[in-house]
A and B are shown apart, each in its own frame.
Chain A
């Protein structure tokens, strides 16, 4: 058993080594450390203050890009759930409510959250241009004591 484990370790090491060597030599090689994400484009962001204003004005749709369970646990009041990870599944429910030129604010949660950006790309493909991202939206919003709801409905 012991020698099998040693051989298994050798197989793993051999694979790791070959992978590193091949990647260094291959024209299709990728950077060993994942390059940092492109910095956020300020033009596509909305501040909490601005978001609060458009929310109070009531003409802007708020879309929550997180998973349904996170949405149900708490979300910005009157926001709709459009999970970026299950866009195709949820889009038919949301699409009839949004005209293509409707102003939209999308958000997820956390500094690292990419869901809003992915959702923005998908909405862009569907023709929506007036889309702003409230970065780290859920945390900022509920920490500021603004209106929230829970449950799966808007």
Chain B
């Protein structure tokens, strides 16, 4: 297979980082706007120790926003993609665990947008974001 020529790869990386960064910015902002709602979403998974639920709900959206901002601004691309890889991988575990236990809860992934119960579509979206983050964090040629 012919490898992508560097300029083309750069354009694609740029596009993917805008898409992924934008998604993270959007997801994080929605949660920041309604911390109580997000804390309920976190609690519903019944995976985070009870006293820590609020702290997770307070901090996780801001890590999403900061990482998203770095990616959109094309600064520390690999580092922010690494953070996103870790986060989407953790979300993957949460979603799979909720599906395996048959929990009838909202995903809480993009605030209450969608509003439907957690399902395979959440897993597909998360996997796609995980793949994008992995790809952006893996390349060495344009590492800064």
Binding site for B on A (CB under 8 A): 4-8, 10-12, 14-16, 18-20, 22-23, 26, 28-34, 67-68, 83, 85-89, 112
Contacts and interface: CB of A to CB of B under 8 A. Distances in A.
Contacts of B58: 19-20, 23, 29-30, 32
Interface of B: 32-36, 39, 43, 50-55, 57-67, 70, 76, 78-80, 82-83, 86, 101-105, 137, 143
Contacts of A14: 66
A96 to B, nearest CB: 21
Q: Is the interface of B mostly helix, strand, loop or mixed?
A: helix
A112 B62 CA distance: 30
Contacts of B80: 7-8, 11
A31 B63 contact: no
Q: Is the interface of A mostly helix, strand, loop or mixed?
A: helix
Contact of B35 (A8, A15, A16, A29): A29
Contacts of A28: 33-36
13 contacts: A7-B78, A8-B83, A11-B66, A11-B70, A14-B66, A15-B59, A16-B63, A19-B61, A20-B59, A22-B62, A32-B54, A83-B102, A86-B103
B83 A11 contact: yes
Q: Which 6 A-B pairs have the closest CB atoms?
A: A15-B63, A7-B79, A19-B62, A19-B59, A15-B66, A8-B82
Nearest to A28: B35
Nearest to A115: B46
